[in-house]
Structure 1
Amino acid sequence: MSSLLSIGKSGLLAAQVGLSTTGNNITNANTPGYNRQVAIQGDTGTQYQGFGYVGTGTEVEAVRRFYDNFLATSLRNAEANQASLDAYSAQIGQIDNLLADPTAGLSPALQDFFNGVQNATASPASSAARQSLLSNAESLASRFQGMSARLNEVAAGVNNQMVSNVGEINAYAKKLADINNTIAGLTTSTAEPNDLLDKRDQMLTELNKLVKVTVTPGDNNMLNVQFGTGQPLVVGNKPFQLGTSTSPTDASRITIGYATDSGAFTELPDTVFTGGQLGGLIEFRDGAMDRAQNSLGQVAAGLATAFNAQHVLGQDQNGALGTNFFNPINAYVGTNTRNSPLSTAQVTAVVTDAGGLTASDYSVDYDGTNFNVTRKSDGKITQINPFPQTTPQVIDGVSYSITGTPQPKDNFLVRPTYNAAKDITVAIKDRDKIALAAPIATAAPTTNVGNGKISAGSVDKNYLTPGNAVTAPITLTYDKASGSFSGFPPNQDVTVTVNGTATVYPAGTPVPYTDGANISFGGVNFAISGTPADLDTFTVGPNTSGVGDSRNGALLGALQTKNILDNGAATFQTTYAQMVNYVGTKAREAQISGTAADAAVTQATKAQQEVSGVNLDEEAANLLRYQQAYQASGKVMQVASQLFDTVLSIGR
């Protein structure tokens, strides 16, 4: 009877464990990270009774959780990608809305500015038109500044989120190390703390949403966690702490690396932080964010530089040569805080050529002998030659001046256009100083016998070279016998261009006449056409009555549609449109990829839940099954008791 009673008791206890396990599954069906469990039963062996072996009951060998590491890893990877795309999409959506806004974007302000130039050109003597041009210029500069400020706000928000994410990652790393230690202490050869394993897996899931991690098994049921290309975050029960610091070359930029309690900081490259919110933020900052800021700055710096270059070739209402319309654009130069304290080297960079300007950043490095300027967008290296410099060197539209005594490994970050939109300002405040006229005037006396004509004339940048400015009338006389003109300045060569072919005539020599050919000397350009008679004269002199002249204004207005940027391949509007299109395309790509990522998470979740999730219908069936087993085992014990009572009654 005792064996039957024991068998019934073992069945009763096993059914009780089954009921508890099933009940636990039901009550945790909605608990995040919970993996369903099942009681694994086995028999307790048999005893030989002479006629054969008789069973002795059952026992619960283990309570096992249903967990598939492959499916769990697939789900974590899908969620890391989803979190990355969500973070990227949220950020790029902000700048996409800013740049593409038809009223608050840059395009309307650019159009208004050049409309002001056209109106002033049409009425160069009008004070109202000139004042309107200055107002439009101020509005354009303000629009650049406002857009730059908004982009900087987005960048500051990214920095704050990066700092927050690093703090959360550190918290999870510490918790994972602690729970690793606890799990190791509670794990036996036959049992594992299922609830702690679930909590650890849930922590990994949440951590993976911040930055994509790789999980590998460690000693004694612990897990090791790495990110990037194998950088450790948790090794057994030891967490590694991350920290943030300002970039050594840009105080507005956050860098991430390993931090110690002593304050030491080892910077890590941005490329190791992939996936998760942090990966999405870094991808956005280093990609679309930087390009938007640099491209906006390229338009601002290009406009200011090109407009200034033409404006200084004009003449204002006071009869003076034009000055800079916009203030010059200085490139951002960040001196690496890790440079040798013995170094006195300083780098200055000024935007001087709109056409050569790019939207790239540059690294300036001293190798102990030479300074090398590396364009970061494609790695192209240009050497500063000679060094020490005798004159500034222009690289990609930026004039570099390096002074002081450098030390090996000195490093500087140059961002030619990064702050240009923020820094653009109007230099001219007096409307009379707007140089709409040309500084030269040409004429053909009415006493000429032939029908030769001379064009209005213009000047180029060579006119600004000291000694080239025309201060008194120059009279050119035609000699019919030789078919040439004389009277050119005795110290300046003359260039004659016919159908794109230029011929240079030394100073002081007669210049053969070709109908319609362009003639230039000392930065002065004009053309003579027709059939001049012998001794006919033409004059080129200073513009003494240029109040109603708008030749330079027309050239300023033509800059709107002229291909200036990207080495003469794009206008200001098309460059801005390309930037808007790039950001819009990236935003759309993020939306499409986000939709795909959501579907991938849904699919991975379904696959994982089919193995590890709680099915309430199945658990309800298990509940009935264990209830029946419990009742049946109780019945076995009841029968055993009755049989035992019968045996006792026989002996009375």
Structure 2
Amino acid sequence: MSSLLSIGKSGLLAAQVGLSTTGNNITNANTPGYNRQVAIQGDTGTQYQGFGYVGSGTEIQAVRRYYDNFLATSLRNAEANQASLDAYNGQISQIDNLLADPTAGLSPALQDFFSGVQDATASPASAAARQSLLSNAQSLASRFQAMSARLTEISSGVNTTIVSNVNEINSYATQIASINNTIAGLTTDQAAPNDLLDKRDQMLTELNKLVKVTVTPGDNNMLNVQFGTGQPLVVGNKPFQLATSTSPTDVSRVTIGYQSTNGTAFSELPDSVFTGGQLGGLMEFRDGAMDKAQNALGQVAASLATAFNAQHVLGQDQNGDLGTNFFNPIQAYVGTNSHNSPASTASVTATVTDASALTASDYSVDFDGTNFNVTRKSDGKVTQINPFPQTTPQVIDGVAYSISGTPATKDNFLVRPTYNAASSLSVAITDTTKIALAAPISTAAPTANAGNGKITAGTVDANYLTPGNQITSTSTLTFDKASGTLSGFPAGQDVTVTVNGAPTVYPAGTPVPYTDGANISFGGVNFAISGTPADQDTFTIGPNTSGVGDSRNGALLAGLQTKNVMNNGTATFQTSYAQMVNFVGTKAREAQISSTAADASVKQATDAQQSVSGVNLDEEAANLLRYQQAYQASGKVMQVASQLFDTLLSIGS
């Protein structure tokens, strides 16, 4: 009887554990990270009774949680990708909205500015037209500054989020290391603390949404957590703490690295190791679309200022003086690595000088102990500063580098030629009479000439600014029919004659052969004579002494709007800006599409994982009835055993 009673009791206890496990599943059906559990039941062995073996009951061998590591890892990877794309999409959409705004964007301000140049060119003597040009220029500069400020604001928000994410990552790393230690202490050969395992997995899920991690098994049921290319975050019960710091070469940028235990040393990690999760999306956005948008906007600003200044200084203002810079020169941002040798006194300055050669790339300037090397970060091209020490600034990609002081090995500088250009663009001229719309030279063919030779109005180029080349008196060119040459050019000036694109240089004082329509230049002055001049016909070239109504330089300034000034003469200001808007718009659209696809991947991965680990309430309801019936049946067994025992006692009495 005692055997039958024991058997019933074991079944009762087993059913009770099954009911508890099923009830726990039902109540935790909506608990994040919960994996369904099942009571694993087995017999307690049999006993030989002479005629055969008789069972002795049942027992609960384990309460197992249904967990598939492959499915869980797949879900974590999908969620990391989703979090990365959501973070990227949320940031790039802000830039897309900023640049594509038809009223607040750059295109209307550029159009208004060049419309002002055209109006002033049409009425060069009008003070009102000149003032309107200055107002439009100041509005354009303000638009550049406002857009740059908004991009800087977005960048600052990214920095704040990066710092917040790093703090959260550290918190999860500490918690995972702690729970690792607890799980190791509670794990036996027969059982593991399922609730703590679920809690740890949920922590890993949340951590993985911040930065994609790799999880590997450790000793005694602990887990090791790495990110990137194997950088440790948790090893057993030891967490590794990340920290943020300001970049030594760019105060506007937050960097991430390991912090030493005592907090005195910071070891910076490359951005490329942070992939997946919110942090990976932010890094990809910052190092890609954010930097490109800021640099590309600055490239337009710097190119506009440089090209407009280059033409403006070749003109003549209403006071008869050569033009000055219309916009203030663009100085490149230069960041110095604070870890340079204290003995180093090296200093780098960089000024944008050539709008056509200017790129939107950043540059690294490094001293190897012998030479300074300038590395273009967009493609790794290296240009050596030669000679060093310098005698004159060296121009690389439209930027003049000036290096002074005594360098030390491993000195490092970050040069961002266009990064701050939009924010620093400003108008240098405040006096309308200083706007140089006229040309500084004047040409003429006297009416007394017997032939029909004509001379163009003439232009000047950058060589005209060289000291000694400016025309201060009138030169008279005389045509000699017998020799077919022109003479009378300024003394000491070589003359270049270009016919069908082929230049020929004639030394100073040498008669110059006349070719109908050929371009003639000397000392930065360019003109052409065409037609058939008669013997001793003359042509004059002199300073422009009555240029109030002249707008030849104004026409050249207005022509910059449609001239391929940027990207080595392949793009206008408008098309370059449009390319930037198109790039950001394309990236934003790609992010939206990828985000939608990522949502679908997460759903599929979740469904697959939940099919194994999720709680099915219908199934649990059925189990509840099954265990209830088993409990009742076991109770009936015990009742029968009790009745049989009572019968035996009554027989004995």
| C-alpha displacement of 1:490 | 1.6
Q: 2:316 is aligned with what amino acid?
A: Q
| Residue 155 (structure 1) aligned with residue 137 (structure 2) | no
| C-alpha displacement of 1:11 | 0.1
Q: Secondary structure at the match of 1:567?
A: coil
Q: 2:509 is aligned with what amino acid?
A: G
The equivalences for 1:362-381 within 5 A come to 362-381=363-382
Q: 1:605 is aligned with what amino acid?
A: T
Distance 1:491 1:33 in 2: 88
Q: Paired residue for 2:63?
A: 63
The equivalences for 1:76-155 within 5 A come to 76-155=76-155
Q: Paired residue for 2:600?
A: 599
Q: Paired residue for 1:181?
A: 181
Question: CA deviation digits over 1:112-139, x for unaligned, max 9?
Answer: 0000000000010111100000000000
Q: Paired residue for 1:276?
A: 277
| C-alpha displacement of 1:152 | 0.1
Distance 1:51 1:531 in 2: 139
Question: CA deviation digits over 1:460-504, x for unaligned, max 9?
Answer: 000000000000000000101001110001201001111111111
| C-alpha displacement of 1:619 | 0.2
Question: CA deviation digits over 1:159-200, x for unaligned, max 9?
Answer: 000000000000000000000000000000000000000000
Q: Paired residue for 1:357?
A: 358
Question: CA deviation digits over 1:440-461, x for unaligned, max 9?
Answer: 0001111111111111011000
| C-alpha displacement of 1:269 | 0.5
Question: CA deviation digits over 1:13-47, x for unaligned, max 9?
Answer: 00000000000000000000000000000000011
Q: Paired residue for 1:339?
A: 340
Q: Normalization by structure 1: what TM-score?
A: 1.00
Q: 2:568 is aligned with what amino acid?
A: N
Q: 1:72 is aligned with what amino acid?
A: A
| C-alpha displacement of 1:262 | 1.7
Q: Secondary structure at the match of 1:582?
A: helix
The equivalences for 1:224-373 within 5 A come to 224-263=224-263, 264-373=265-374
| C-alpha displacement of 1:261 | 3.6
Q: Paired residue for 1:171?
A: 171
| Residue 543 (structure 1) aligned with residue 544 (structure 2) | yes
| Residue 526 (structure 1) aligned with residue 527 (structure 2) | yes
Q: Paired residue for 2:613?
A: 612
Q: Secondary structure at the match of 1:391?
A: coil
Distance 2:273 2:628 in 1: 54
The equivalences for 1:453-602 within 5 A come to 453-602=454-603
| Residue 417 (structure 1) aligned with residue 391 (structure 2) | no
Q: 2:141 is aligned with what amino acid?
A: A
Distance 1:457 1:651 in 2: 140
Q: Secondary structure at the match of 2:567?
A: helix
Deviates more, 1:74-83 or 1:564-573: 564-573
| C-alpha displacement of 1:260 | 2.3
| C-alpha displacement of 1:234 | 0.2
| C-alpha displacement of 1:647 | 0.5
Distance 1:640 1:336 in 2: 87
Q: Secondary structure at the match of 2:112?
A: helix
In structure 1, runs of 5+ residues without a counterpart are none
Q: 2:624 is aligned with what amino acid?
A: L
| C-alpha displacement of 1:551 | 0.1
Q: 2:13 is aligned with what amino acid?
A: L
Distance 2:325 2:280 in 1: 44
Q: Secondary structure at the match of 2:315?
A: coil
Distance 2:450 2:569 in 1: 44
| C-alpha displacement of 1:517 | 0.8
| Residue 632 (structure 1) aligned with residue 633 (structure 2) | yes
Distance 1:509 1:198 in 2: 95
Q: 1:86 is aligned with what amino acid?
A: D
Distance 1:534 1:47 in 2: 139
Q: Secondary structure at the match of 1:566?
A: coil
Aligned length in residues: 652
| Residue 204 (structure 1) aligned with residue 204 (structure 2) | yes
Distance 1:27 1:397 in 2: 69
Question: CA deviation digits over 1:542-564, x for unaligned, max 9?
Answer: 00000000000000000001011
Q: Secondary structure at the match of 1:539?
A: strand
Q: Which runs of 4+ in 1 moved over 2 A?
A: none
Question: CA deviation digits over 1:58-102, x for unaligned, max 9?
Answer: 000000000000000000000000000000000000000001111
Q: Paired residue for 2:385?
A: 384
| C-alpha displacement of 1:402 | 0.4
Distance 1:126 1:637 in 2: 114
Q: Paired residue for 2:16?
A: 16
The equivalences for 1:437-448 within 5 A come to 437-448=438-449
Distance 2:96 2:340 in 1: 38
Distance 1:141 1:187 in 2: 68
Distance 1:39 1:409 in 2: 65
Distance 1:449 1:69 in 2: 100
Q: Secondary structure at the match of 1:497?
A: strand
Question: CA deviation digits over 1:227-274, x for unaligned, max 9?
Answer: 000000000000000000000101110000001242211100001000
Q: Paired residue for 1:431?
A: 432
RMSD value over aligned CA atoms?
Answer: 0.5
Q: 1:322 is aligned with what amino acid?
A: G
Distance 1:463 1:232 in 2: 64
Q: Paired residue for 1:75?
A: 75
Q: Secondary structure at the match of 1:565?
A: coil
Q: 2:531 is aligned with what amino acid?
A: G
Distance 1:262 1:542 in 2: 73
Q: Paired residue for 1:33?
A: 33
Distance 2:330 2:440 in 1: 26
Percent of residue pairs identical: 85
Q: 2:152 is aligned with what amino acid?
A: N
Q: Secondary structure at the match of 1:568?
A: coil
Distance 2:346 2:67 in 1: 61
Q: 2:82 is aligned with what amino acid?
A: Q
Q: Paired residue for 1:449?
A: 450
Q: Paired residue for 1:213?
A: 213
Q: Secondary structure at the match of 1:603?
A: helix
Q: Paired residue for 1:650?
A: 651
Distance 2:310 2:107 in 1: 22
In structure 2, runs of 5+ residues without a counterpart are none
Distance 1:236 1:385 in 2: 54
Distance 1:474 1:145 in 2: 47
Distance 1:644 1:408 in 2: 97
Question: CA deviation digits over 1:405-456, x for unaligned, max 9?
Answer: 0001100000000000000000000011000000000011111111111110
Distance 2:646 2:371 in 1: 107
Q: 2:118 is aligned with what amino acid?
A: Q
| C-alpha displacement of 1:48 | 0.8
